[in-house]
């Protein structure tokens, strides 16, 4: 359970850091529009901190690490979510600084963010399958 609480803490700290970065970076650059930076904070709190808090609750009664799908979830999710967050920051910084991107650079940012989203989504499915397996083994 401690491991999942540690993951939750790491994602909470990352969420707070990105929230402060968003506020200060946009203020420093005099940016008042909507930017992707504003969404990173929420993504990390909900998909990072809250998911691992929920897993910690399950871990008090179960041993999720016993299930292969859960072990795969940990890898896939912890690669996908940070990758998504980093690419959202990259996209947001280019928006705030009004950097003109080539179509290749724009597509690269979108593509890498898409891969992060796919990994995160796959991780969520693996987590749900794992939770279902845990519930079935508890009968």
Asked if residue 67 lies in contact with residue 134, where contact means CB atoms within 8 angstroms, the answer is yes
* pTM, rounded to two decimals: 0.91
Neighbours of 124 (CB within 10 A): 17
CA 24 to chain centre: 21
Decide: helix, strand or coil at residue 62.
coil
Alpha helical stretches, state H, 34-102: 37-43, 51-59, 68-96
- Domain ranges in the chain are 2-137
The 10s digit of each residue's pLDDT in 49-86 is 999 999 999 898 889 999 999 999 999 999 999 999 99
Taking the C-alpha atoms of residue 42 and residue 19, their distance in angstroms, rounded to an integer, is: 8
Mean pLDDT of 37-60: 95
Q: Assign 18 to helix, strand or coil.
A: helix
């Amino acid at each position: 359970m401690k491991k999942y609480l540690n993951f939750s803490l790491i994602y909470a700290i990352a969420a707070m850091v990105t929230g402060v970065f968003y506020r200060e970076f946009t203020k420093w650059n005099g940016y008042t529009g909507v930017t992707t930076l504003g969404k990173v904070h929420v993504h990390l709190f909900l998909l990072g901190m809250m998911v691992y808090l929920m897993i910690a609750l399950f871990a008090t009664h179960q041993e999720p690490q016993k299930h292969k799908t859960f072990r795969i979830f940990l890898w896939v999710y912890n690669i996908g979510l940070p990758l998504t967050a980093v690419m959202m920051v990259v996209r947001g910084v280019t928006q705030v600084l009004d950097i003109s991107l080539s179509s290749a650079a724009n597509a690269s940012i979108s593509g890498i963010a898409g891969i992060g989203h796919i990994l995160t989504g796959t991780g969520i499915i693996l987590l749900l399958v794992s939770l279902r397996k845990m519930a079935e083994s508890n009968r």
